[in-house]
Amino acid sequence: MPPRLVIAIMKKPTSRTAIALLFAVVLTPFALLFGPTQANIVEPDTQRLAPKTEHFFASRLATRFIGSYHYHSKEQIDDLSDRMFTQYLRVLDGNRLYFDANDIAEMERYRDHLHDALTAADLDPAFDIFNRYLRRVGERTEFAIGLLHDGFDFTTDEEFEFDRREADWAPNREALNDIWRKRVKNDWLLLKLADQDEEQIRETLTDRYANLYRRIREFNSEDVFQFFMNAYARSIEPHSAYMSPRSVDNFEISMRLSLDGIGAMLQRDSEYTTIMEIVPGGPADLDGRLQPGDRVVGVAQGDDEMVEVIGWRLDDVVALIRGERETVVRLQVLPAETGLSGPTREIDIVRDQVRLEEQAASSEIIEVPDGSDVRRIGVVSVPVFYVDFQGRARNEPNYRSSTRDTRRLINELKEEGIDGLVVDLRGNGGGALVEATTMTGLFIDEGPVVQVRDSRGRVSLERDREPGMAWDGPLAVLVDRRSASASEIFAAAIQDYGRGVVVGETTFGKGTVQNLIDLDEFSRSENSRLGQVRLTMAQFYRIAGGSTQSKGVVPDIILPTPGDPADFGESALEFALPWGEIDPTDFLPVADLTDLIVEARERHEQRLTQDEELIRLLEDMADWERESERTTVSLNLELRREEMEAAEARRAARFGHPAADLADVLNGEASSDDDDEATEEDERDLFLFETARILVDLMDLDRDTQRLAHRGDLESAVGLDL
């Protein structure tokens, strides 16, 4: 019999690096809460960590459960030990700043044997590698502090490679010294551009490097075991993980207090802490200034002095940012669009709770010119698929859910006389599966919605069983690369039924289901805690047979997208489960919209070459792509300052003020706070407005056939070519 499972609703996954949720505690399995320390010297290395007794037992249990119940059997992986070796090095030294090629050569003896060692509960290789890492961090930070005495010449033309994730290991210690010389020079230059004098810079950087070493030295054997077990789990599939007892405690606290904080997801990106995602309805979302991709370089409480957090462990940064409700936290960030070249921005946010009302579905009406007429397009924005499970279980008449709220909003929009409807799922990372099913039911007249296949190959079917529809007219679904899980189930069903058009970016591609296994239930002692395993145990499939996994949902009409879509989402994660398909289930499509979509796509592409707003958007995206592709920055002071001034001038020329960025434009927030005469076009959400125009195009093209509307006559429906 399978072990008793603790079921958890898992939202959209994160990147390869550790991620934290800034509500109240850290959710990442790498969670290690250390308080900030101050130090000015690097202490001699006398620390050597070793595994504890409970780690041997936990490793046996975890490997047994992962091997027996994971959706993707590890027996199918021929190079699992090699994967583990690479993953473990990436966890410890992802930017290749501490180990050199000689270190890697000496540790190569473990590469082909790590999985066998773990299966035999031999943890010595993991701890040997980590202890070497501790020594190298001490050597590097001591070297960095030694460089601060003489300062640097910023008139020479040389560059610092800040992103070394794909670089070769430094061939020797001398080459690594040169990498660190440029790194320290870049750190000095950034502070110089921020108008710090030499004495301030030396003090700041001395503290930074010493604190980095002290934080690494605070890792204990439980942390090392967790790092290694995660290297194993994520060598099989990116959403499986091991959580240490401390991480389990943090996770449970987060489930109780998850509505407190600023509402942002963080990840560790090289030496920087980066905003991964803004949580809908949270304080950061309502404030609007903090954006995904921004790098946090400093944190301050209220009016206190700013504390620099470059090089800090992720959880240390989280500990500073989170705090009591109605208190102010100030963040100093490097905006995403400027990269590491700066300058920084300071953002103050009042900590609060993520209120249900702010997370709930909302509506608006967009008026779209259509020749001499104006079309009224209703919009329902759904930031998450939510439901009051307790109220639903008690059959309370007024329990809250995304489906119920959406139905109410649609009825209100119908009373306003809308001609078409857009369901906006941008940034919706998922939520309750039952809500994805019932939400689809608002737009179809009963039928299957999604198939779920478990690790034993058994397929279950989720169906809409309620007759009738809340909206049977023209429909568009707007998605982006952050739309995942339940959002993808909904969008895929609408697309498979031919019920509406899907517009936007290819979605994330998370088509898997995770459960939690509590290892403490198998502990031999009440005082010996073993942690938990998060395990991928099922996969979603569309009613047409294809999976939402990896490929996501490809829109019928793709809006301009900054960056290469292949670099984002599930397919960009190492060892993600592949796309697959099973037999389609029986369902009756409503219409074949292919011909209409082809013509509407042509009209959209024509606007991209003629509409001034869209032309500027494409230019902004090109600038963003050029900046994001850089892996180096100049260490010449005048050149760096010129780049900063040019970037500010471009933003000021396009948006009216230098603080605006690409995210502001896409979200309709590009107008200055001080500009009382901001036009309606300045505040326009370009992606949403273009989706409304696409829907109007489809309505015009469909004036005779009425394929966009669900006519209720299912027997005369045209089948889709699937």
Q: Tell me the per-residue pLDDT of 423-459, one tens digit each, with 9 for 90 and over.
A: 999 989 888 889 999 999 999 999 999 999 998 889 9
Whether 46 shows a pLDDT value over 80: the answer reads no
Q: What's the mean pLDDT in 109-127?
A: 94
Closest Cα to residue 408, out of 380, 428, 367, 447?
A: 380
Q: Give pLDDT, residue 394.
A: 83
Q: Is residue 90 helix, strand or coil?
A: helix
Residues with a known catalytic role: 485, 496, 510
Q: How far apart are CA 426 and CA 670, in angstroms?
A: 19
Q: Give pLDDT, residue 268.
A: 67
Instruction: pLDDT band for 260, please (50, 70, 90 cuts).
Output: low
53-67, 94-108, 302-316: which is most confident: 94-108
Q: Give pLDDT, residue 201.
A: 94
Whether 615 shows a pLDDT value over 50: the answer reads yes
Mean pLDDT in the chain?
Answer: 82
With beta carbons less than 8 A apart as the criterion, state whether 279 and 263 touch.
yes
Q: Tell me the per-residue pLDDT of 59-85, one tens digit each, with 9 for 90 and over.
A: 998 888 888 778 876 556 789 999 999
Query: Per mean pLDDT, which range of 379-383, 493-497, 672-676 is the poorest?
Result: 672-676
Q: Is residue 28 helix, strand or coil?
A: coil
Instruction: pLDDT band for 709, please (50, 70, 90 cuts).
Output: confident
Amino acid 406 reads: T
Q: Give pLDDT, residue 689.
A: 95
Q: How far apart are CA 443 and CA 490, in angstroms?
A: 10
Whether 679 shows a pLDDT value over 60: the answer reads no
Instruction: pLDDT band for 476, please (50, 70, 90 cuts).
Output: very high
Instruction: pLDDT band for 22, please (50, 70, 90 cuts).
Output: very low
Residue 448 preceded by cis peptide, ω within 30: no
C-alpha gyration radius of the chain:
27
With beta carbons less than 8 A apart as the criterion, state whether 711 and 471 touch.
no
The two structure tokens encoding residue 527: 């005082």
Q: How far apart are CA 164 and CA 182, in angstroms?
A: 13
Query: Per mean pLDDT, which range of 186-200, 308-322, 594-608 is the poorest?
Result: 308-322
Whether 221 shows a pLDDT value over 70: the answer reads yes
Q: Tell me the per-residue pLDDT of 346-374, one tens digit each, with 9 for 90 and over.
A: 999 998 876 655 678 999 999 999 888 99
Q: Give pLDDT, residue 252.
A: 61
Instruction: pLDDT band for 715, please (50, 70, 90 cuts).
Output: very low
Helices (H) and strands (E) in the chain, counts: 21, 23
Q: Give pLDDT, residue 354.
A: 63
Whether 6 shows a pLDDT value over 60: the answer reads no
Closest Cα to residue 64, out of 224, 239, 242, 220?
A: 242
Domain boundaries, the chain: 10-18+27-38+51-238
Whether 193 shows a pLDDT value over 80: the answer reads yes
Instruction: pLDDT band for 199, please (50, 70, 90 cuts).
Output: very high
* Greater pLDDT, 164 or 17: 164
